[in-house]
Chain A
Amino acid sequence: MKAYLGIDVGSVSTNLVLIDEQAHIIESYYLRTNGQPILTLQKGLQKMAAKLPMKITVNGAGTTGSGRYLAGIITGADIIKNEITTHAVAASSIVPGTKTVLEIGGQDSKIIILRNGVVSDFAMNTVCAAGTGSFMDQQASRLNIPIEDFGPTALRAKTPVRIAGRCAVFAESDMIHKQQLGYNLPDILAGLCEALVRNYLNNVGKGKEILAPAVFQGGVAANVGMKKAFEKALGIEVNIPEHYNVMGALGAAILAREETIKTGISNFKGFSVANAKYHAGGFECTGCPNMCEVVEIYKSKKVIARWGDRCGKWSNSIAQSEKIS
């Protein structure tokens, strides 16, 4: 059986997905990146290889997420795509006719508007990360509740309190004040969900036409309190796909399938790369006061990729044919 691999190396999590030719998920992994993208990726590949049934051959691989170039170089990916495109592709394969994708991850949030199955508009948070997963994580630990209980607790709210949502700093102090006045926990948590949704819709969703069917994905979609707050604010049903937390990887796998069907061959280097010695090094370029921090990726002792320089002096010297920087 032919299968396709999708890899999403994000700031918080590294996800791997293996799909069959009908784009059904055979296997999926969600791992914490812990600031070590190469190691985490190799660990994921090892796990995947160990579970792989004998009769499956991997016919293509795609990478996405902020570590997509890194992962692409290591695995020999057939496509390297940005997260917006892959999330949109995955959402419309799970919910055909999707018109809106609401995505909130660990450090960023985005909205994608699709019309007739094609991305027609999108937006991503630019200067502010208020209301993303990391902030919720932080608040949950401040209130001493496990992040898994955040949503169910919020659902028990009777009268959600109003919390200032424009800025994470305002939200936090407002929450503390409400808490000291004696409001109960479910009402505060539900209020926080509503504040975050308000902030998301004003900041990221600004001026966009949000139509059903809408899909809510990314790590924060695990929080049922957020789903309810979205439905209340938008007045439409919000779908959460079964594999909401690996949608980027799923999209990358689907695109890898399309690509290899078109080209007929795959550059995927196989699961053995999980055992090869890769490491990242780097240096500060002293060519000008920009002092770019150039990253170098080594396989054994050979430099196989370089990036991080503004002028292209280093990245161009190694990859004349590949357009990376």
Chain B
Amino acid sequence: MKVTFPHMGYLWISLKAMLEYLGVEVQEPPPTTKKTLILGSKHAPEFACLPLKLNLGNFMEAAEIGADTILMAGGCGPCRFGYYAQVEYDILQDLGYKYQLVVVEPPEKHISEFLARIRYITGGRPWWQVINAIRFGYMKARVVDDLEKLAQWRRPREITPGSTDQAFSSALQLIIKAGHPRDIPKAKLQGTHLMNQVQVDERKPVVKIGIVGEIYTLLEPFTNLDVERHLGRMGAEVNRSICLSEWINDHLFMGLIKGTRSSKEARRAAPPYLNHFVGGHGQESVGSTVLYAKQGYDGVIQLLPFTCMPEIVAQSILPGVSADLDIPVLTLVVDEQSGDAGTITRLEAFIDLLNRKYQQKEVLA
């Protein structure tokens, strides 16, 4: 058995660590590139959203290098993603791929349900080992998230363009190499040290932008045309409303780990603008925008894949939030476009807008 899974940002680092800790053989797909997109969009239904096409491309590329079992998340609507595992599997079957499919549905009530599902892959290994493996994966996600936050702070302030990205990719290598839970603290320390070596201008005024939207588009830089990196280079400090470790804690551990940001807060902040769940992260997008406004952020960017229903609901509500709380919101819809000139133009104009507002605020203060 060689297990593979779709890419979603740095998710692979955690999943690979967890599975390999249990002695399961893993073959992650090659990084998502244009080739992935071409393969995926050739065989996926045209009206499906970008994540389905890229998942499919990931699986096809992983099969080329020997993967034979898919580990994939499920879901239970209203977002279409809940069907994707099955639809992708059927398409692969039609194309003649010999894959086994294991769908991990998010637990509805208790973490034990999640553990029972993962048993399929872990086989007869003792529970304490499975729990340790999951903990290991989660620890890696936490450290990667922490390093990303350091990068988000340093990128707009760096003295030499590109130095933050260089340091970040070296730091990431350290985390990837850590082969045992006891190696994590040292890797974290070294990674943090690398990040702190990036020369910055601490007094440089920067605008602060919160990013909200659909989780896959948020976490996978290939789909969002690297908005975080572009924004950083244009002098904006970025905060993302969803981080992988928080998502794992919320959805798989049912909030077992306390003291970290939770999507509950975002959902609580959504009324009166959006009072109930609309699928995906629609309600969280509205709530996070409210929270960012209250925390003094200068602006919010919403990201969604074309035809994403939950985010379309949020998109039509956000202008009201924006007007009430006086926080500019820019919505970017992503699909198969790979030219980033249009995106850069919009981001630049948005930062101009925020800078002018920021200057006005400074004058008044």
Measured CB to CB, the residues of A under 8 A from B are: 66, 81-85, 108, 118-124, 126-127, 206-209, 288-291, 310, 312, 316, 320-323, 325
Contacts and interface: CB of A to CB of B under 8 A. Distances in A.
Contact of A85 (B30, B323, B332, B352): B352
A252 B323 CA distance: 29
A310 B322 contact: no
A183 to B, nearest CB: 33
Given A66-B345, A290-B33, A323-B234, A121 B333 contact: no
A323 B345 CA distance: 14
A289 B345 contact: no
Contacts of A322: 161
A127 B316 contact: no
B31 interface: yes
Contacts of A288: 31, 33
Nearest to A11: B341
Given A118-B357, A127-B306, A82 B348 contact: yes
Contact of B328 (A83, A121, A320): A121
A204 to B, nearest CB: 11
Interface of B: 30-31, 33-36, 160-162, 165, 226, 233-234, 306, 316, 319-320, 322-323, 328, 331-333, 335, 337, 340-342, 344-346, 348-350, 352-353, 356-357, 360
What are the 10 A-B residue pairs with the smallest beta carbon separation, nearest first? A207-B319, A84-B349, A289-B33, A289-B35, A82-B348, A126-B333, A290-B33, A82-B349, A82-B345, A119-B353
A291 B34 contact: yes
Contacts of A119: 349, 352-353, 356
A209 to B, nearest CB: 8
Nearest to A290: B33
A321 B159 CA distance: 9
Given A121-B322, A124-B342, A126-B331, 18 more contacts: A66-B342, A83-B349, A85-B352, A118-B353, A119-B349, A120-B357, A121-B328, A121-B353, A123-B331, A124-B345, A207-B319, A288-B31, A289-B30, A289-B33, A312-B162, A312-B165, A322-B161, A323-B233
Nearest to A85: B352
Secondary structure at the A interface, as helix, strand, loop or mixed, is loop
A130 to B, nearest CB: 14
Contacts of B36: 289
Contacts of A209: 323
A29 B357 CA distance: 34
Nearest to A108: B342
Contacts of A310: 226, 340
23 contacts: A66-B341, A66-B342, A66-B345, A81-B348, A82-B344, A85-B348, A85-B349, A85-B352, A118-B357, A121-B322, A121-B328, A124-B346, A126-B333, A127-B333, A127-B335, A289-B30, A289-B35, A291-B33, A310-B340, A316-B161, A320-B160, A320-B161, A323-B234
